[in-house]
Amino acid sequence: MPFEAALAVAGVVLVVTFIGIISLVAGRRAAAQNEERKQQASMRGWSFEAAHEKGFRVHRWKGSTDGVDWTAESRYKAGGHGHPAVRRTRWLATAVRGPEKPILCMGVAIGKEAPAVTLAQGEGLLANLAVKAAGFAFDKAVDKYFGSEIGDVVDARQLKPVPGTTVPGYKIMAADTEAASRILFQGLSRALTALSPSELGEDDGKKPWLLLWKDGVAVGRAELMDATDEIDRMARLGSSVARLPTIA
């Protein structure tokens, strides 16, 4: 074998060996982290599992908080071929029925509660286009924070700002604004603000999103949250809303 060819082969072998070593170290580190998550979950009476499902790396917790059974998932999928990476963490009450018409509580920084989207009033092509654009944006947001399986059930195009309500740290959108106002007054507003930003782990006052719909209550973040304490915060927030006697 010519010297140049032998050198090229040796280079390839070194690269492959290096990549193999890096993969092995990363795999062992991930396994150790997952074992730690499992132990921390067990100490709280929860369960934890790591899996790969349909191209996603999934971390899944199951537990109960204040009598509310729930499942939480942290999902990651690498981007490529023009598709962005997907990062999402979702908490879902597994045995709770929510209001017939959806209510979306969008977590924002304190002082930013005014609706970012004002639906056009009146008739005509421009008004119709504005309404459709806003509806499309909310549909995409629900998919991003809560997953397409929930987004396929919830028609976010029906959502409108709830008038006359101000909940610190949240923009409130609802399909039935009158019912949403009643539910907010009867306990939802208090449940949303019961935990301080520091208790939620948010230094800037921005909070997770919450969705109440006929099939349950969900808390969502458009980012990865893999620490047990972070999941615990989501569970405390979600369970406080799921326990409300007025949401159904």
Q: What are the angstrom distances between the C-alpha of 204 and each of 3, 121, 191, 198, 231?
A: 61, 34, 20, 9, 19
The confidence band for 102, taking pLDDT boundaries of 50, 70 and 90, is very high
Dump pLDDT digits (tens) for 231-247: 999 999 999 999 988 77
Sorting pLDDT into bands at 50, 70 and 90, what band is 157? confident
Lowest model confidence (mean pLDDT) among 61-75, 91-105, 130-144: 130-144
User: Which pLDDT belongs to residue 167?
Assistant: 87
Q: Are 228 and 37 in contact (CB under 8 A)?
A: yes
Q: Note the Cα 53 to chain centre separation in Å.
A: 17
Range picked from 83-87, 123-127, 168-172 for highest mean pLDDT? 168-172
Which amino acid, one-letter code, is at 39?
A: Q
Instruction: Provide the pLDDT confidence category of residue 151 given band limits of 50, 70 and 90.
Output: confident
Name which residue leads in pLDDT, 76 or 123.
76
pLDDT at 8 (0 to 100): 56
Token duo for residue 186: 């009867």
Q: Which residue has the higher pLDDT, 111 or 85?
A: 85
pLDDT > 80? residue 7:
no
How high is the pLDDT of residue 83? Answer: 75
Is the pLDDT at 155 greater than 50? The verdict is yes
- Rounded to an integer, the average pLDDT of 62-89 is 89
Helix, strand, coil content of the chain in percent (nearest 5): 40, 25, 35
Nearest to 150 by CA among 161, 133, 132, 138: 138
The ranges assigned to domains in the chain are: 1-43, 46-242
- The pLDDT assigned to 194 comes to 83
Give the per-residue pLDDT at 109: 76
Q: What is the pTM of this model?
A: 0.79
Q: What is the pLDDT of residue 107?
A: 86
Whether the pLDDT of residue 6 is over 70: the answer is: no
What does the pLDDT read at residue 79?
Answer: 74
